[in-house]
Amino acid sequence: MSAPLIEIIGLSKAFPLRGGLFGGIRGDVKAVSDVSFSLAKGDVFGLAGESGSGKSTIARMIMGLTHPSAGAILLDGLDLTGLPLALARSKAVQMVFQNPGSSLNPRRSIGQSIAVPLEARKIARADVERGVARLLDMVQLPADFSTRYPHELSGGQKQRIAIARALAVEPQLIILDEPTSALDVSVQAKIIELLNELRRSLGLTYIFISHDLSLMRNFASRVGVLYLGRLVEEGPTRKLFEAPAHPYTRSLLAAVPVISAEEEAIKPKAPIVEGEIPSPMNQPPGCAFHTRCPLAFGLCDQQNPEAYWLDGDHFARCHLLAPDAASLGAKPIETLKRENAG
Amino acid sequence: MSASVSAASVRISIAYQNWHRFSRNPTALIGAAIVTIVVLAALLAPWIAPHPDHVGAIVNFRVRHQPPSAQYWFGTDNVGRDIFSRVLFGYRISLLLAAVVLGFAVPVGATLGLLAGYFGGWMEILIMRLTDVALAIPPLVMALAVTAVLTPNLLHAMFAIAALWWTWHTRLIFSITRTLRHQEFVEAARTLGASRFHILFRELLPNCASAILVKVSLDFGFVILIGAALSYLGLGVQPPTPDLGTMVANGADFLPDRWWESLLPGAAILFVALGFNLLGDGLRDLYDVESVR
Amino acid sequence: MTGEPLLSVRGLSVDFSTYGRRSQVLRDVSLDVPAHRHVALVGESGCGKSVTMRTIMGILPTPPARIVCGQILFDGRDLLAMRPRERERLRGTAMSMVFQDPMTSLNPVFTIGDQMATILKYADRRLGRVRGRRGRMARIFEVLGQVRMPDPERIARSYPIMLSGGMRQRVLIAMALLSEPRLLIADEPGTALDVTTQAQILKLLKDLVEDRGLALLMITHNLGVVREAADYVYVMYAGSVVEHAPTADLFARPSHPYTHALIDCVPKLSGDTAFRGIDGSLPDYTAPPAGCRFSPRCVLATALCDRPPSDRPVSEGHLAACWHLAEAAP
């Protein structure tokens, strides 16, 4: 692996919890706790997790829309956390939002929306027009779309516009926050194809946020699984999907609705996990997943598991993976491995 | 590109859709018709008034207190001037008053509302508390106070009303902006490096436009009423300039026998206020803006 | 499928008038939902599945909509020919609906118990049934138990905000079950929820069909959910049913070119998805193609497709409306 383009080190975010008569701070909500990962130029890093897992908060911190409580975000070695949301950052990192409907201003034409970053750079009017046409062409839309308004466009077309707008600043990294979850699958396929093409031709790097694991399997090169703001497992997509090590990853994969017997055979044989993700406001002690984990044992509600490396590039945070787990009362790790294989 | 772009449905412009709905709303149509008539009458007054010379301080005792007739549609007043002609010119004053007041109140109010709504924090506290204080003073009382201290005339009346009227627009724009500021398109603009000026006036303001339009339409009626009330009390437009409020006040001395001298200018006030209110209500239905009054 | 279906839609066509233009939104839609069966109606946005559902429930606003022709037989009786009052009696009693959005379909200012009691009171009134407050509460606790809510008494006292998304979805299902309906129509059940919660909801619906003999019509855009939960599938495209088959058969042998293309678009967990998509977009409903509505986007289209295709058999209970069936089948 070459030197990473972006390195996230110990990123945490706690929102103060206010209450009482005078709105004093009573505690905090840990939305993101100690998340670290890095990715090389040209990579697609997938952040998977259910709602409330903190994936959007991570995106907003990298974008500079929210300040981290702790940790660093290094882009080419430069720490972004100190910088305000300034031009310096907006040039390097861009974002495509989930809802193509609300990420475009309904009262501004497509051309005006795409031109925002060009105008911010004080480019001459004629050059702005040419730039807009070029960007529309990059997302495979005709130049006359610049005079249209968002309500005249389909969801897929709107998302193409949002991508064109993000490309306008010539970013190195684009954060894709559920870019296709509001679209039909036939449109999703087209958008994913476009994103792949752009990544290859422009040498872009993506952080891809999604709850759709099947899509992630096909799009990301590395995947990190979040649960209540913690990265519980991370590794190359293939390894993580074929040999998931964390019980949460396994139950997530087991719950994915699939459309063929081949896929069914790949899914881990885990029972449907009970209950729902707890509120970040009252996080369970120890491993956050122990309240729903079918394999939880004595240690799990006591201490937060460290990261155990299964391989040079694949880790999971689970006490079952500790070398001495069996002596502490856990089901032996071999059981887990055999289940994975079967 | 390929066929996926040649959008299936034929484009129906927003303007056409709006006109389609507007034209099926009788209230709005009547309002728009009244407003058009009044504005045209005011603009063309020098050419269409039967007796344009009756606007000034002329005296024509031979025909004073004439009831409505073919020659004097609204009758004549106590010095023999044609009331209909004076009503047409009176509309000019009323519309000018409202336009000047709103021309000041809307930009100021909208800007303050945008600032308070988008930035929040101390900016919001400062602007909104100031607004609350200003809202606590009734415009008529303010106008009475201002014109009592200064000399009563049209300019001071406009100044007094405008000094309070912006608050309504601040409140309106503030509430819209506060819900819009966390919308993704605003965040997208921020991440693209857009300036604060751009976000306030290019992204947020256009989304307030329909609410402002509705509000302005309703306000026109109210400001004209307040202006007429001030003139009625002798604190607004001074004679001999023809003003609807002043005419009602003068004519009131001769009620009920010479009813036309007071009631017909009064009806003219009612007519214009009604027109703007109907139009405003119609526009509100059209744009579905609930936050306006 | 055997026996008389509980719900049978026959040749339903619906038009919409907007801004003086007429859109032909549904064309000749037919589908059957028997008791003890979980039937899915699947399609992408704008394909007419919601309009079909609303027409069956009788909540389609007319105008702008207009039912051109067709029958909706419920237990052998045509809903469209019934007097409004008679139909009103069926709605929310013999047939009821599970709404899609567990976040907005509940009124935030009333407790779950209060909202359910109101629904039950109206259902009882329509059926001319008398039930006291205590009887109502007993019934409410019973259905909350049926949707596997722990501690129904506590849930009934809760406000919607106090419940998680999955629990609210269960409450919506419980509400639909209050009046012991025979037909349940579920609009995108669980799609607003996380996959683990969605799996729980689908399991619950499956058990309700099996244990209580309900006929369930599910509207969804998610093919994975269809394969996971449904017994029989209708695939809709541009206002028409293009293919219908037992679930396993449909995924084993998708025969209409649209179904085929759609299945190709779904990302596979095995990781070998070619993201080709489907070129083109839905036809303009005010001037749809005269023949097969998929033909402008279809790779197999020929002059033959200018005439409307009729259902042609693929195998037992598996039909597809396509002139080129032999070529389309893999």
List of chains touching C (3+ CB pairs within 8 A): A, B
Q: Which residues share a beta bridge with A166?
A: none
Report whether pLDDT(A144) > 70: yes
Which of C151, C180, C209 delimits the end of a domain?
C180
Among C16, C17, C19, the residue to mutate for chain B (most B Cβ within 10 A) = C19
Write the CA distances from B182 to A85, B176, B191, C72, integer angstroms. Answer: 15, 11, 13, 46
C99 within some domain? no
- pLDDT: is A309 or B257 the higher one? A309
Instruction: Give, as one character, the DSSP assignment of residue C279.
Output: S
Comparing CA positions, the residue from C28, C71, C13, C1 lying closest to residue C242 is C28
pLDDT tens track for A65-114: 888 889 989 888 788 887 765 555 666 888 998 888 788 998 889 999 89
Please give, rounded to a whole number of angstroms, the shortest distance from the CA of C202 to a CA of chain A: 10
Of A162-176, B18-32, C154-168, give the lowest mean pLDDT range.
B18-32
Count how many domains chain C has.
2
- Residue C20 near chain B (CB below 8 Å): yes
pLDDT reported for residue C129: 81
- Residue A213 near chain C (CB below 8 Å): yes
Residues C248 and C289 in one domain: yes
C1 within some domain? no
Which of C162, C180, C198 delimits the end of a domain?
C180
pLDDT reported for residue A134: 92
Please give, rounded to a whole number of angstroms, the shortest distance from the CA of A293 to a CA of chain C: 13
Residues C109 and C237 in one domain: no
Searching chain B, which residue's CA lies closest to the CA of residue C280? B4
- Residue A143 near chain B (CB below 8 Å): no
Percent of chain C scored above 90 by pLDDT?
A: 27
Instruction: Verify whether the Cβ–Cβ distance B207 to A107 is below 8 Å.
Output: yes
Residue B232, domain extent:
83-178+207-287
Please give, rounded to a whole number of angstroms, the shortest distance from the CA of B194 to a CA of chain A: 6
- Max mean pLDDT among A331-335, B5-9, C151-155 falls in C151-155
Of B184, B192, B195, the CB nearest to A169: B192
Among A159, A180, A222, A258, the residue to mutate for chain C (most C Cβ within 10 A) = A258
In chain B, residues with a C-beta closer than 8 Å to the C-beta of A104 are 185, 188
Report whether pLDDT(B104) > 90: yes
Residues C146 and C167 in one domain: yes
Please give, rounded to a whole number of angstroms, the shortest distance from the CA of B11 to a CA of chain C: 11
Domains and CATH numbers, chain A: 41-60+84-241 (3.40.50.300), 243-342 (no CATH)
**In a 3-state reduction of DSSP, which class is residue C315?**
strand
Residues C142 and C213 in one domain: no
pLDDT reported for residue B192: 76
Both structure tokens of B193: 């490096």
pLDDT reported for residue A87: 53
Instruction: Verify whether the Cβ–Cβ distance B5 to A64 is below 8 Å.
Output: no
B164 within some domain? yes
Of B3, B9, B10, the CB nearest to C280: B3
pLDDT reported for residue B28: 86
pLDDT tens track for A265-324: 888 887 777 777 887 777 888 888 888 888 888 788 888 888 888 888 899 999 888 877
Put residue C44 in one of left, alpha, beta given phi > 0 → left and psi -120 to 50 → alpha.
beta
With beta carbons less than 8 A apart as the criterion, state whether A320 and A331 touch: yes
pLDDT reported for residue C128: 79
Percent of chain B scored above 70 by pLDDT?
A: 93
- Residue C296 near chain B (CB below 8 Å): yes
Residues C235 and C323 in one domain: yes
C282 within some domain? yes
pLDDT tens track for B17-66: 777 777 888 888 999 999 999 999 988 888 888 887 777 777 777 777 77
Report whether pLDDT(B125) > 70: yes
Report whether pLDDT(C2) > 70: no
pLDDT reported for residue B6: 33
pLDDT reported for residue A275: 77
Residue C131, domain extent:
104-180
With beta carbons less than 8 A apart as the criterion, state whether B198 and B134 touch: no
Please give, rounded to a whole number of angstroms, the shortest distance from the CA of B265 to a CA of chain A: 42
Write the CA distances from B190 to A146, A306, B187, B241, integer angstroms. Answer: 21, 37, 5, 53
Residues C229 and C240 in one domain: yes
C78 within some domain? yes
Residues C30 and C135 in one domain: no
State the CATH number of the domain containing residue C200. 3.40.50.300
Report whether pLDDT(C324) > 60: yes
Residues C174 and C221 in one domain: no
B69 within some domain? no
C2 within some domain? no
pLDDT reported for residue C21: 82
Of C45, C224, C267, the CB nearest to A184: C45
pLDDT tens track for C111-150: 899 888 888 888 888 777 888 888 889 999 999 999 988 8
pLDDT reported for residue A22: 59
pLDDT tens track for B69-90: 888 878 888 777 888 888 888 8
pLDDT reported for residue B22: 79
Residues C143 and C38 in one domain: no
B215 within some domain? yes
pLDDT reported for residue B5: 32
Count how many domains chain B has.
1
State the CATH number of the domain containing residue B96. 1.10.3720
In chain A, residues with a C-beta closer than 8 Å to the C-beta of B207 are 105-107
Sign of the alpha-carbon dihedral angle for A111, A112, A115, A117: negative
Give the whole-angstrom CA distance, residue B204 versus residue B172: 13
pLDDT tens track for A180-234: 988 889 999 999 999 999 999 999 999 999 989 999 999 999 999 999 999 999 9
Work out the pLDDT band at C41, boundaries 50, 70, 90.
very high
pLDDT tens track for A230-255: 999 999 999 999 999 999 999 899 98
Put residue A174 in one of left, alpha, beta given phi > 0 → left and psi -120 to 50 → alpha.
beta
pLDDT reported for residue A2: 61
Which of C180, C198, C216 delimits the end of a domain?
C180
Q: Which residues share a beta bridge with A125?
A: none
Tell me what the mean pLDDT of segment B262-268 comes to.
87
